[in-house]
Structure 1
Amino acid sequence: MAQIPLSRSAASLKGVCSQDQSRNVAADTLRAFLHSNPTPSLRFYSAQTAPRPDHGGTPDAQPFSQDEQTGYDHWKKQRLANKEFFTSLLSSAATKRDAKAYISRLKSPRKKTPALKSTQSAVPIKAQTTVNVGNLFSRSRAVEQSPVFTQFKDEEQTVEEVETVNVAMVKVNNISAMDDSILAGIAQTLSSLSRLGMVPAVVVEEPAQTDYSVRRELLTQSADRLVTAIEQVSESGARKLDNCFRQGVDGRPEIFLQKLITRPLHQGRIPVIVPLAFSDRDQCVMSITAHDALLALTKDLAGLSFVPTTGGSVTEAVEKGLPLRKQISLDRIIVVDETGCIPSTKSHDQEHVFVNLEQEYSRLQEELRSSTDSGVSQRHASNLKLFKDALRMLPHSASGLLTTPLEAANTARLTDDGPSNVGTRRQKNALIHNLLTDKPAYSSSLPAGRLTQDSTTASATTSTLVKRGMPLTMLPNPDAQVWTAASTPRLKLTDGRIDLDRLVYLIDDSFNRTLDVEAYLKRVNDRIAGVIIAGDYEGGAILTWETPPGVSDDDTSRLVPYLDKFAVLKKSQGAGGVADIVFNAMVRTCFPNGVCWRSRKDNPVNKWYFERSRGTWKIPETNWTMFWTTPGLLDQKSSQTFLDYEAVCRTVQPTWADNKKLVD
């Protein structure tokens, strides 16, 4: 059985977690980083010195003055905000590998500051006293590190931006219907995202109104409410923008002045954008949809709004967008909508925790638009289209997140007031968890039954992670030919539709072993049930029909559906959901009635298999553990099907060429 090797650190992490569930190793990793990196990039507390509550201990001490009391109140408020911030951060860290990946992804490399070429003497900048936590947080980097002014004798003064600002586009729907506590929680989360190095740019949206003036007033009030809520929890604050767009020649909105957006982002301020556009033709301001506004912002911030001039080339237009792409890095699209995650009316899970657009978009749109289920809204289809349109303009690594206001406000849901419940864990904030891990809150290949047993994943079912993803090839196509033991002719690995060399490389890389190709083809080439290939051979599975000992190959009723190889390239393991995509295709599309496989008892990936199988059996007198997804297999443990599964898993011969001595 194929193995997805885990790193030694990840393997040790699993061991630690199994011994002490209360310890969050990912949180320990982040906490250690905060204490060990002396770089001034975030001030935890107000720069104003707050008076101590006991400073009046002398007989002639005077009560606080009004200014002192204001400073002390601000200090207390900031301390509570910091406590909330770090609690959300550390509780949202999923694994040690995720924490390290986040630190590596958002920690900006140091850039050399060009020297000042001037006859004037440089004025030294007074160093600020701050708490040093490294480049993990970048909220105040644009403030702490001033732009570099380069002076030349006969040239104008120029300013060079030295930091890349990581940006998330956020659409918040129906703020007018939210109570103050939910809005305060969303504001706290948005502020935390900014402090974690990803400044959100927020577009507000309200339900459609027949009266334009009513809609405009509603949008303006919603933006004002959100700005006020952010100002109360963020030192950098927010800025309402209601003059960003104009109507383009094609009738679609376009950015009126780019600096209106980029300047607040570089300052760490959160732009709150009202979807209104000025029409040159009608000489009036008109409302636009938040969908169109977000796409216009995405296009502009991605550096794609430049068009070739008359006689110019596309290359010239692309080069014009390069400076902006060096200043702004946009790789998150977030939608906060009370309709929640993308529902599934044709599966037992009832919701999609992860959507691979490349593979699932057309099918999901058809399912959503034709559904009569009361839990399915047309906004689900609209939000899914928004993700598709926006993500295609961004790097392949970009992702989208659809969640509810309640989950976006998770930071405000739990407080330290009142008695605590022993044994309860703080639920993860969907937005912060997505930023730290770029993964769903739980694996999309986990059976629904597993989730109902774990209260910590209860909130995860109201969020959907969306990625452009990768194409998925299933041979033969299950829509045209159901995978059954009686199907003929059977597929061969030498089929022209399969790149055998790349498939072998995938297996060798995943297992860290060398396959004996000739011996392997001799064993499986006449019994292939099907092959699944994810993306550009980033992951895959080979499934076979195995014959139990003593059974004729012609007795198709006794042939066992067997997962012979399950492989993911090392560079893709733990990222992008490759393993989940392949596994879901296998158990939900190709073999919905069940499949079995085996793995060595000491394989560290067995925990992943345990969580996704319906049952396991440690085969006596061997080093193999058998797994299966077949429903009801243990209803009668002595059944012939169970015995056939065990016999196959016990007797299949490995075909490796590396001569490694592994106990079977």
Structure 2
Amino acid sequence: MTQTALTRSTTSLKGYYLPNPNRNVAADILRTYLLSKPTPSLCSYRSYRPRLYSSQATHRSDGPDRSPGPSVELLPENEGRSSFERRSRQRLANKEFFTSLLSSAATKRDAKAFISRLKSPTKTSSLKHPPSTTSTKGQSQVNLDDLFGPSRAVEASPVFTQFEKESGQTAEEQETLHVALLKISNVSSMSDDILGGIAKTLSSLARLSMVPCVVLEEPEQLAGTTRHEHLRQTADRLVTAIDSVSEFGGRRLDNVLSFDSDDRARVFIRKILTRPLRRSKIPVVVPIAYSEERQLAVSVTADEAVLALTRELAGLDFKPRTDEHPEKLAEKLITLHKQISLDRIIVIDETGAIPSTKSIDRKHVFVNLDQEYSTMQEELRSSTDGVVSPKHASNLKLFRDTLKMLPHSASGLLTTPLEAANTARASNEDVSNVGTRRQKNPLIHNLLTDKPAYSSSLPTRRLGHDNPLVSATSSTFIKLGMPLVMLPHPDVQPWTAAGKPRLKLTDPSIDLDRLTYLIEDSFNRKLDVDAYLKRVNDRIAGVIIAGEYEGGAILTWETPQGVSDGDTDRLVPYLDKFAVLKKSQGAGGVADIVFNAMVRTCFPNGVCWRSRKDNPVNKWYFERSGGTWKIPETNWTMFWTTPGLSDPDKSQTFLDYESVCRNIQPTWADGKTIPD
């Protein structure tokens, strides 16, 4: 980023903020980047309003062109006031927008990752016209090529083709368009304040290079044309709210869906959907599909509409001609997939986060579908708890069905209208307040970080709530995720000190080479495999492996000094290795998945581990542990999750934990004496 852009962004913000000693560095990075982009939506009204005194012609669709001179001189006084009011509203909108960034951007790494994901490639013009004559000052700018060449009418005749190469597309279409697909329930029953807040959030998503596409869901209380009219009126209400806060506005689409030959809803014409998205307009799709067979419009469920839009935006509904050459077909598919990236599936529903009967705050903060989908559906459908709604199960199924069609990087978010609208509430707060934690808007936070509002492995007590039953969020973050393997599985063989036979790392069910690579990549050190196996192979309590060895944990039963290995009551449950591949650190929830499996499923009664006192990851460990202890005369900090372990002078368990953490010898192959 250039120094000029940084200076310009700093200057632009002087009117928006008071000095804030606690300003988020990540938000500063994002703000600087966004203000340096030549995007009209990030400028004041003056910068994108047509300049009436310009010498260049300006096309106006709402009336005849105005002559430059008289238009400036004859502006009525009330129009000047109106212009000032519009600029004031735009400045206020910018302030609210950057306030959302201040509260939602988590870390510097998250900010840089967001910019890397959504940064648009350099546009290259698809029309390259080399100069036909050398022009100098005073010479006529007339191109005589067409006079002596082929007929202009013949050369310029349109060729009607269904698909062209990427080089034949406009520069706009060559740029990847990032889209968030939303389903919003019961818009007709929302208050104007909530709806206005949601509209501001949608506008903010578009300004952050993620254009929303909205599908409405209304209760099925009406039928036929009455329902259709109700849906259109509701869509118009949302579009009006969007128009009031976004310079690009929204557009109602009630003609985008039709029925396929197999009676499945699909997008009728792709460009009806993509054109407004390309222009940063927010489409509001009415779930009505046209039936060619019955020659009438038929209501479909919002979930059916979301699935149809997902298939189209993911490029899965492309139907090639039977005589298509394989190479041409492959080229078309590659180009189609480059045009649009559907990155988020978002559901705004008053039922809120998916309930949980197992977690302390009774809500699922993060769902790894690959691991948890079946058990969660069974739990939801069999639950008699009043907070569980049939909508929870149907929304969870919608996420599973849509994310299966999208790249592994895509994610889902389920939240409430109140949380989705909280950008409106943020504007009433002082951005320089110290000592208060602003509630994050889950849509903005999820876009910037691809994470839930708070870590799913973070204990509720760390969230600042006196009542552990009060959740810090009403949102659930969802990923298609990765499989999780626990060896042995606790349901089959509980991880107890007396359990025999014990697993070995040389067991055929474990890929020792990949496990070794995971450890070495995560710790950035070479492991002495033979020495390590010799130390742990008869002590393994269990192994946790996430995905394709993207993360994992090795847990052992350790013997305190002066205790016999046969005294199973004194053996210490110890986290010997906790590793995540560098490429997966800070994203995808890999660390949370492994840690939750360890403390909630494998060792619910507690486990201990150690880390260097200067290890940067200690903050993450500290937030998730039940307590810590800096072991005297060593470079180790001890952590544990065991409940009630707080008095080192009276607890034998504590002394056993300290003995193990103090005396285990590292088995690295680099020969370094610094403990790790």
TM-score normalised according to structure 1 size: 0.86
Once residues 313 and 361 of structure 2 are traced to their aligned partners in structure 1, the CA distance between those partners, rounded to angstroms, is 36
For the 8 Å contact 1:239–1:264, the answer to whether it is kept is yes
For the 8 Å contact 2:96–2:426, the answer to whether it is kept is no
Q: Structure 1 vs Structure 2: percent identity of aligned residues?
A: 66
Once residues 466 and 106 of structure 2 are traced to their aligned partners in structure 1, the CA distance between those partners, rounded to angstroms, is 15
Once residues 517 and 342 of structure 1 are traced to their aligned partners in structure 2, the CA distance between those partners, rounded to angstroms, is 43
Report deviation, 1:415.
3.0
Report SS of the residue matched to 1:498.
coil
Report deviation, 1:209.
2.0
User: Which residue, 179, 202, 215 being the options, matches 2:214?
Assistant: 202
Tell me what 1:334 maps to: 346
Once residues 107 and 233 of structure 2 are traced to their aligned partners in structure 1, the CA distance between those partners, rounded to angstroms, is 41
Tell me what 2:96 maps to: 84
Tell me what 1:26 maps to: 26
Paired residues for 1:479-494 under 5 Å: 479-494=491-506
Q: Is residue 479 of structure 2 the alignment partner of residue 467 of structure 1?
A: yes
Once residues 452 and 489 of structure 1 are traced to their aligned partners in structure 2, the CA distance between those partners, rounded to angstroms, is 43
Range with greater deviation from structure 2 (634-643 or 66-75): 634-643
For the 8 Å contact 1:354–1:444, the answer to whether it is kept is yes
Q: Is residue 349 of structure 2 the alignment partner of residue 349 of structure 1?
A: no
Report deviation, 1:71.
1.6
Once residues 410 and 516 of structure 1 are traced to their aligned partners in structure 2, the CA distance between those partners, rounded to angstroms, is 52
Once residues 154 and 37 of structure 2 are traced to their aligned partners in structure 1, the CA distance between those partners, rounded to angstroms, is 35
Report SS of the residue matched to 2:473.
helix
Q: Is residue 448 of structure 2 the alignment partner of residue 436 of structure 1?
A: yes
Evaluate the alpha carbon distance shift between residue 642 and residue 325 of structure 1 in structure 2; reply closer, same or farther with a 3 A threshold: same
Unaligned runs of 5+ in 1: 1-19, 52-60, 124-149
Evaluate the alpha carbon distance shift between residue 431 and residue 640 of structure 1 in structure 2; reply closer, same or farther with a 3 A threshold: same
For the 8 Å contact 2:519–2:579, the answer to whether it is kept is yes
Paired residues for 1:19-418 under 5 Å: 22-34=22-34, 37=36, 39=38, 42-46=41-45, 47-48=48-49, 65-117=77-129, 153=155, 156=158, 159-160=169-170, 161-209=173-221, 211-307=223-319, 309-310=321-322, 319-416=331-428
Report deviation, 1:169.
0.4
Report deviation, 1:170.
0.6
Tell me what 1:537 maps to: 549
Paired letter, 1:217: E
Paired letter, 2:155: K
Evaluate the alpha carbon distance shift between residue 34 and residue 335 of structure 1 in structure 2; reply closer, same or farther with a 3 A threshold: closer
Report SS of the residue matched to 2:92.
helix
Evaluate the alpha carbon distance shift between residue 41 and residue 502 of structure 1 in structure 2; reply closer, same or farther with a 3 A threshold: farther
For the 8 Å contact 1:530–1:543, the answer to whether it is kept is yes
For the 8 Å contact 2:498–2:568, the answer to whether it is kept is yes
Tell me what 2:70 maps to: none
Tell me what 1:506 maps to: 518
Report SS of the residue matched to 2:155.
coil
- Deviation by residue 1:82-125 (Cα, 9 ceiling, x = unmatched): 221121123211111111111111111203224434899999xx
For the 8 Å contact 1:485–1:556, the answer to whether it is kept is yes
Paired letter, 1:305: D
Once residues 625 and 325 of structure 2 are traced to their aligned partners in structure 1, the CA distance between those partners, rounded to angstroms, is 55
User: Which residue, 538, 559, 572 being the options, matches 1:547?
Assistant: 559
Report deviation, 1:70.
2.1
Evaluate the alpha carbon distance shift between residue 632 and residue 424 of structure 1 in structure 2; reply closer, same or farther with a 3 A threshold: closer
For the 8 Å contact 1:349–1:447, the answer to whether it is kept is no
Tell me what 1:17 maps to: none
TM-score normalised according to structure 2 size: 0.85
Paired letter, 1:274: V
Once residues 307 and 215 of structure 2 are traced to their aligned partners in structure 1, the CA distance between those partners, rounded to angstroms, is 11
Report SS of the residue matched to 1:462.
coil
Paired letter, 1:205: E
For the 8 Å contact 1:117–1:151, the answer to whether it is kept is no
User: Which residue, 612, 622, 627 being the options, matches 1:600?
Assistant: 612
Report SS of the residue matched to 1:533.
strand
Report SS of the residue matched to 1:170.
strand
Paired letter, 1:627: F
Report SS of the residue matched to 1:341.
coil
Once residues 562 and 545 of structure 1 are traced to their aligned partners in structure 2, the CA distance between those partners, rounded to angstroms, is 6
- Deviation by residue 1:266-308 (Cα, 9 ceiling, x = unmatched): 1111100000011122222111000000000010111000245
Report deviation, 1:500.
0.5
Tell me what 2:149 maps to: none
Evaluate the alpha carbon distance shift between residue 189 and residue 121 of structure 1 in structure 2; reply closer, same or farther with a 3 A threshold: farther
Report SS of the residue matched to 1:593.
coil
Report SS of the residue matched to 1:413.
helix
Report deviation, 1:323.
2.9
Evaluate the alpha carbon distance shift between residue 418 and residue 549 of structure 1 in structure 2; reply closer, same or farther with a 3 A threshold: closer
Once residues 246 and 434 of structure 1 are traced to their aligned partners in structure 2, the CA distance between those partners, rounded to angstroms, is 32
For the 8 Å contact 1:303–1:322, the answer to whether it is kept is no
Report SS of the residue matched to 2:575.
strand
For the 8 Å contact 1:216–1:287, the answer to whether it is kept is yes
Report deviation, 1:611.
0.4
Once residues 348 and 327 of structure 2 are traced to their aligned partners in structure 1, the CA distance between those partners, rounded to angstroms, is 37
What's the C-alpha RMSD, in Å, of the aligned pairs? Answer: 2.9
Paired letter, 2:43: F
Once residues 119 and 619 of structure 1 are traced to their aligned partners in structure 2, the CA distance between those partners, rounded to angstroms, is 76
Range with greater deviation from structure 2 (305-314 or 327-336): 305-314
For the 8 Å contact 1:472–1:534, the answer to whether it is kept is yes
Paired letter, 2:311: K
Paired letter, 2:591: A
Paired letter, 1:25: V
Paired letter, 1:382: S
- Deviation by residue 1:378-429 (Cα, 9 ceiling, x = unmatched): 1111111111100111110000111110111111113348999663343211
Paired letter, 2:44: Y
For the 8 Å contact 1:307–1:314, the answer to whether it is kept is no
- Deviation by residue 1:562-585 (Cα, 9 ceiling, x = unmatched): 000001111111111111110000
Unaligned runs of 5+ in 2: 1-19, 53-72, 136-151, 160-167
Range with greater deviation from structure 2 (212-221 or 642-651): 212-221
Evaluate the alpha carbon distance shift between residue 42 and residue 454 of structure 1 in structure 2; reply closer, same or farther with a 3 A threshold: farther
For the 8 Å contact 1:304–1:321, the answer to whether it is kept is no
Evaluate the alpha carbon distance shift between residue 422 and residue 306 of structure 1 in structure 2; reply closer, same or farther with a 3 A threshold: closer
User: Which residue, 561, 564, 568 being the options, matches 2:580?
Assistant: 568
For the 8 Å contact 2:197–2:420, the answer to whether it is kept is yes
Report deviation, 1:43.
4.8
Tell me what 1:450 maps to: 462
For the 8 Å contact 1:445–1:580, the answer to whether it is kept is yes
Evaluate the alpha carbon distance shift between residue 471 and residue 115 of structure 1 in structure 2; reply closer, same or farther with a 3 A threshold: same
Query: May I ask how many residue pairs the two structures share in their alignment?
Result: 608
Once residues 431 and 655 of structure 2 are traced to their aligned partners in structure 1, the CA distance between those partners, rounded to angstroms, is 53
Once residues 357 and 134 of structure 2 are traced to their aligned partners in structure 1, the CA distance between those partners, rounded to angstroms, is 67
Once residues 401 and 434 of structure 1 are traced to their aligned partners in structure 2, the CA distance between those partners, rounded to angstroms, is 8
